[in-house]
């Protein structure tokens, strides 16, 4: 199998690659409907106080012949294990801390392709962390003429974000003092935060805005619900585990069944054309896009394939491996008694 570090992965996956792969994964999700492991929250282990949370999420893309598991330590590193879904052979292990962040940004961009109003001029960003960094990069890739306004809890972080991302993307990125200023007249709003209170309140969004709520906390107050003409999600089940929907139901604002009835489509249905994307310029849309493990599996498989083609990364082989799986020429061979042992190069 191939083992890739984060630095190696950055050299193997471009933003253009990621857009293509995420769109294909959304299409597979729409057509196959079996890409996600259940339950959506996967496995969380809390062995001591303060807790160390381990999260496992699995996915399969049958049309691509791959299955995998995403392993995450909260506030730590992320790894993706990719296998052949027909033979169960482990194809590779990818350190995906950056790749995960990049796919979050690209999913925002892909959703915006289908749901944003025409002629996007202004994009509001709520949150100035690593995830919104990648969202800014991805959206600047698709909307090069748009200007960005960013707000964060700490003004100095918003200012630093604006300087870094403006220089990196070439876009006009400015920091503002409040969330209201960030979203005023914005065509797209992206919220990815750890905020303790929702930042989007009634009357803040103009008609026709695409509101992308992508964090794991409540970012849009429940009182905004009547302002949205449509609601779109990626994974409907996971939407009730964390984020806006989970918070609204837990607070007793609405029953789950009533909120499920308000969901117009999932993004897979839009990708494969069974449900419409944006239907008119004035449609105000809430899209709860929290990401799915199928993207991580697909992007990691692409990185593994590219590494095999270029001869980069570390090749690890078990002594129990099939004789037919010899390492490529000029690759370092590390023999171990355990098929899933990762050996640092």
pLDDT tens digits for 107-138? 999 999 999 999 999 999 999 999 999 999 99
pLDDT per residue as tens digits for the range 271-301? 999 999 999 999 999 999 998 889 999 999 9
56 contacts 77 by C-beta, under 8 angstroms: no
More confident residue, 158 or 46: 158
Q: Please choose, from the candidates 85, 14, 69, 8, the residue with its C-alpha nearest in 3D space to the C-alpha of residue 296.
A: 69
pLDDT at 181: 97
Supply angle C-alpha 137, 281, 261, rounded to 5: 90
pLDDT per residue as tens digits for the range 210-253? 999 999 899 999 999 999 999 999 988 889 988 999 999 999 99
For the chain, the straight-line distance linking the first and the last C-alpha, in angstroms and rounded, comes to: 13
Please give the average per-residue pLDDT across 299-316, as a whole number: 95
Question: What is the sign of the dihedral through the CA atoms of 69, 136, 230 and 181?
Answer: positive
pLDDT at 40: 52
- State the greatest distance between any 2 C-alpha atoms of the chain, in Å, as a whole number: 65
List 287's β-bridge partners, or say none. Answer: 212, 232
Three state DSSP letters for the chain: CEEECHHHHHHHCCHHHHHHHHHHHHHHHHHHCCCECCCCCCEEECCCCCCCCEEEEEEEEHHHCEEEEEEEECCCCEEEEEEECCCCCEEEEEECHHHHHHHHHHHHHHHHHHHCCCCCCEEEEECCCHHHHHHHHHHHHHCCCCEEEEECCCHHHHHHHHHHHHHHHCCEEEECCCHHHHHCCCCEEEECCCCCCCCECCCCCCCCCEEEECCCCCCECHHHHHHCCEEEECCCCHHHCCCHHHHHHHCCCCCHHHHHHHEEEEHHHHHHCCCCCCCCCCCCEEEECCCCHHHHHHHHHHHHHHHHHHCCCEEEEECCCCCCCCCCCCCCEEEECCCCCCCCC
Structure tokens that stand for 149 in this block: 């306004």
Report in angstroms the alpha-carbon separations of 40 from 58, 78, 100, 244.
9, 17, 17, 16
Query: Does pLDDT of 338 surpass 50?
Result: no
pLDDT per residue as tens digits for the range 87-109? 989 999 999 989 999 999 999 99
For residue 72, what pLDDT band results from cuts at 50, 70 and 90?
confident
pTM score? 0.86
Tokens 């789950």 correspond to what residue? 256
Q: Kindly list the strands in the beta sheet with 188-191, ordered across the sheet, starting from the edge strand earlier in the chain.
A: 172-175, 147-151, 122-126, 188-191, 210-213, 285-288, 230-233, 263-266
For residue 312, what pLDDT band results from cuts at 50, 70 and 90?
very high
Please give the average per-residue pLDDT across 47-51, as a whole number: 64
Please give the average per-residue pLDDT across 149-163, as a whole number: 96
C-alpha 101/C-alpha 106 separation (Å) is 9
pLDDT at 291: 84
Please give the average per-residue pLDDT across 44-65, as a whole number: 75
C-alpha 344/C-alpha 254 separation (Å) is 50
Query: Does pLDDT of 16 surpass 70?
Result: yes
More confident residue, 36 or 66: 66
pLDDT at 6: 94
Tokens 């640092």 correspond to what residue? 344
Tokens 């929702």 correspond to what residue? 198
Q: Please choose, from the candidates 156, 208, 145, 155, the residue with its C-alpha nearest in 3D space to the C-alpha of residue 178.
A: 155
Mean confidence (pLDDT) of the chain? 88
pLDDT at 330: 45
């Amino acid at each position: 199998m191939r083992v890739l570090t984060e630095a190696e992965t950055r050299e193997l996956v471009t933003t253009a690659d990621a857009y293509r792969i995420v769109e294909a994964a959304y299409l597979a999700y729409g057509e196959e409907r079996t890409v996600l492991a259940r339950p959506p929250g996967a496995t969380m282990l809390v062995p001591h106080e303060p807790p160390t949370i381990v999260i496992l999420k699995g996915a399969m893309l049958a049309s691509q012949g791959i299955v995998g598991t995403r392993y995450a330590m909260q506030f730590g590193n992320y790894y993706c294990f990719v296998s052949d879904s027909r033979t169960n052979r482990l194809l590779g292990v990818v350190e995906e801390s950056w790749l995960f962040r990049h796919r979050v940004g690209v999913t925002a961009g892909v959703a915006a392709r289908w749901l944003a109003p025409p002629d996007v001029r202004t994009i509001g960003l709520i949150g100035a962390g690593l995830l919104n960094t990648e969202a800014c990069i991805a959206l600047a890739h698709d909307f090069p003429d748009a200007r960005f306004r960013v707000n964060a809890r700490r003004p100095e972080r918003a200012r630093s974000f604006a300087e870094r991302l403006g220089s990196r993307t070439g876009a006009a990125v400015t920091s503002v003092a409040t969330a209201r200023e960030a979203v005023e007249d914005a065509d797209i709003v992206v919220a990815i935060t750890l905020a303790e209170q929702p930042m989007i309140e009634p009357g803040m969004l103009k008609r026709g805005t695409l509101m992308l709520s992508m964090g794991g906390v409540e970012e849009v107050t429940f009182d905004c619900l009547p302002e949205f003409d449509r609601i779109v999600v990626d994974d409907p089940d996971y939407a009730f585990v964390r984020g806006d929907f989970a918070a609204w139901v837990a607070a007793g604002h609405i029953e789950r069944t009533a909120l499920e009835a308000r969901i117009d489509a999932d993004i897979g249905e839009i990708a494969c054309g069974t449900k419409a994307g944006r239907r008119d310029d004035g449609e105000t849309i809430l899209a709860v896009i929290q990401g799915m493990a199928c993207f991580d599996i697909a992007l990691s498989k692409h990185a593994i394939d590219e590494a095999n083609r270029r001869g980069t990364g570390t090749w690890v082989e078990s002594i129990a491996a099939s004789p037919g799986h010899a390492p490529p020429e000029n690759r370092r061979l590390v023999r171990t008694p355990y098929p899933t042992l990762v050996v640092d190069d």
